[in-house]
Structure 1
């Protein structure tokens, strides 16, 4: 067992991360791969507590629905339900590989998951269970990035790990369009806001800044990167934190 740099983390997964190369829906092989990475983290680190927030963009995006004339609140609630579907898929994969997991939802649906209760979530974490926070904040107009920041503040997480597809960190411009784009190794929350960098939305970034929660942005495309981030290795971009080990 390796001593861990952190005691409690929030792992933020985009919905697209669960879709794999398909780009839409849930790819069981990808979900299984992520579950095994999380199992490896639990088995190789000592005392690490893991909370997870999953997006829903692989199934439904509230903003996209709103842009096509749908009521924004309704579209956002549909997006919250998409995160529940992703969370249940991830829970199933984790428990299939022996990781005790609970899903807590911000919108009550007792037949499929527990309601989100902060003290209960912390107790699950203390008992070594992985807790997946679903249904966003339970309110429209807030992203799952904001959910990650809010839950991190509520459970007093040490850091947020932002696992991205097709991105290995934060760049000064889009590397897909600019071959000369440069990746930042370290940033402050205020710099992210001032430069308009796409780490998180501004609400989530401000919440992290106000509560002094660092963020690591890294690629999930390479297996083992979640463990490297947990151990403090020098991967991706760190926002509002200290220098990592190489």
Structure 2
């Protein structure tokens, strides 16, 4: 569970170019929620995700995860709870390392770090089994440099890498924005399956209204750093896609 209370984030505070990106935002994300966040540019969507991830710290307010106040924790201190997938497929992977080596680095994310990669046959078998889930034939290419793959393939593998540890929260920051429609569909179906199979709590920022309508059990619209609409469960099931378009009319 994530409890966000009176969260504020102001950039360039006290200067002429001051920007109030989050304004007294309150949000409760229940365990196993898949929350899709929509809003116009500058509404605070990515700032909210950055504050949850710990890549930026709020100006004021609090963020509680599973009963722990993580408001002042840096991102690496939150890694035992959180994994994140960015919109750029080049982020989140080491392009010159193989698929297998990237999975090994991901497996060390929340544990003790070691300078040795330390890949053994048991680990290779685990990764092969996971990668086979994608149905893309990549399980036969584990020694291939991940940077040689397509954006959709890398993004799908990044999602799988997030499950190498006992993950609780998955943050998706416009994960399909840089992909062609076919790759985007593959990535979204993979994300949805992983979230359900591993019973994750997930938050996804997107500009894709179809994805906001299709995925998640909850959709939030943000504006001017606040939550304007919060559509949950049965109400979301009854929601029609044209209604979401009308939010931006």
TM-score by length of 1: 0.34
Q: Determine which structure has the larger strand proportion and give its number.
A: 2
The structure that has the greater radius of gyration is 2
TM-score by length of 2: 0.33
Q: Determine which structure has the larger helix proportion and give its number.
A: 1
Kindly indicate whether structure 1 or structure 2 has the higher relative contact order, using CA contacts under 8 Å at least 6 residues apart: 2
